[in-house]
Structure 1
Amino acid sequence: MSSASEEEEDAHSPDSTAHCTVCCCTLTNKILMVVFMVLLIVAILAGNLVTLAVVLGTKHFHTPQGYLKASLAVADLAVGALVVPLTVYAEVSLMLRDSAPPPRWISHNSQATAGFHPCNIIGPVFAGCTLVSISTIFLLTIERSIAVLRPLHKESVITRRRTTTLIVFSWVGSFFLAVSPMVFSNEIALEYNSCSRMCNYALGTIGEFPSRAWNILLLFPTFDFTLLGGTVVINIISLSSIRQYSKRRKHLAESELQKSASKPTLSDVKAAKIIGTLTLVFTASFTPIAVFVVGNVLGNEWCNFSFFSFWILASNSGWNVVIYSVRDQKFRIRAQSLLLWPCSSRRTPASTTT
């Protein structure tokens, strides 16, 4: 009986050859994967902490747009502080399984494991933070579109209080949707997936997904692509308006253009372009996940594709600070001053004494 149970456990283990992803089949690949994840943690934490420091520590960024960027940074920080470290712990445990057996939760889902299962927290955190990111980018797009298309109404429509309320609704709604599969269906569990190397929604104790469970899980791509589709459309409208505005600038004298109070400012135009870049990068990062979910519905496992899809999305959490730094000069200067502050503070006493 013991040998049979060990074989059954190996069959469900994330380290089994049945689910040997391209990155995890050899010891060298496993080590490289863990190194990549550790570097990703450092990049996500450092980049988003810099973003929060710039936004919260600079009066210029205390705007509705700044609050939305801070919300986006917090969601990305949660991925770097909770989601990726759990995978590093799980993979190191599997690599050291000869010296100490890995925790039971790695090879069993939340319904088959007695006691606390980490994926019950980390799975909804990753899903919720992804939904928060999508909804925040949508709100950023709405905010910029009003500034570009209706500049005279910007101050009255876009207020800090309304923005804060929308941010709260974004977080509450996103995490409610993230836990809804477990709340509304006892057929769905969470597991450390052997393909994606992450905590994913999975079967409970039944043999195959019923239609009700699939309908609940399909809420995620439906919600995501509805918001992303709307975001892309609004961005296209805003960028088209910016393009027409730029053409008119070439044909009109600067004095004539300044007389028109209904034109967006250059800072609003630059901000709209930054949000357009954010939307493009996030859409490119999220699309593989949507393709993977559709493939699962059609009965395809796509183990290797699953790994790359989930980790491309996780890596997106470290890109926002790069986009801000490249496209926003004021953000870049402020970030550089914060990063160089320890060096400048050490040089200050020496310069004053001389």
Structure 2
Amino acid sequence: MRFYQIDPSLENYWRGVILFGNNFATYKFALAHALYDVPREDSLVTLNDLAVPFARHICEHLKNAPRQILNDKKPGKFLTACLQFNQGEIPHEQLIDTTVRHGFSVVLDAFHNVNGGPLETQFFINERRERKGIRLTDDFYRLTLGPQFRNLIHETDARWCLVEKAWALDLPPPLLDIHYDISGETLFTLRQNARITLTSCRNSLNGYQKGHCFYCHAPVSLEPGHDLLADVDHFIPLAAQTGLPGVNLNGVWNLVLACKSCNRGENGKSARVPALDLLKRLHARNEYFINSKLPLHEAILNQTGRHEQKRRSFLNDQWNAALRCRFHQWQPVAREEVIL
């Protein structure tokens, strides 16, 4: 896929798995978190060692989101064991034993599959039958040493939350709309006039921008208190709202992550409209959302158009409308080559 093929870093191959792999259960996210957590002194990780963090993450998510598979009418032996453990009906040892026997039957083989086939970069080798475990590859170790590794943890959890919330809401896609809460920096939707928080806006956007400022491509962080903590910015400034009646500028389609310098620095964007080449970049970023499914893609389709050409025209129309409101154009100082 274009997302990682045009910028084939280890982080982007990993994001390909998290953002674009098929989701029939949330086990892929639990496995990713287990790999973040598991001891890595030996490249061979036994299923027993892997089962402890894998089951723990599923059990924790089940407490707030009982639906962890697409078809929850047949939860299977592993998910049933997790539910029983949460209710105090079985001991931890039985949970781990059931996880080893039933929790990895599909996810280990399917983890690297994206867009109908396996990634050329593999982060572990499935040795479940030969050695009752998986073998971490050199690429995984290099991934853990990269500056983006901490961001990947936040991105995985945000993606997991979005998938389970989409299943729980069970809304018809045409009714799904997602908005940005500026004060809480979260994404939310409405159901029967009740606001339902989905996940952190910052964590949800970051993966699609590959961990960099949307404008100048400087690295950004998701860690609270970090000097590089990203700002959430409205591409078309909110100040233009009066000139764009009926357009949801708080929609996901118009939200990007920016470094502090681009967003509010001395020569930053402020209440200006980014140049035309950045509008094309926004379109490419939004198409990544659409290809990743559940549920942000439906919100963007509802807000910008069901067909690619309509979405392109929608962005052009809003950009031109903002300029007609006498907002000036702005161009960042590029720090690195931007590859979206």
Look at both structures and tell me which one has the larger radius of gyration over its CA atoms. Answer: 1
Shorter-chain TM-score above 0.5:
no
Q: Flag the structure with higher strand content.
A: 2
TM-score w.r.t. the length of structure 2 is 0.24
Q: Greater relative contact order: 1 or 2 (C-alpha under 8 angstroms, separation 6 or more)?
A: 1
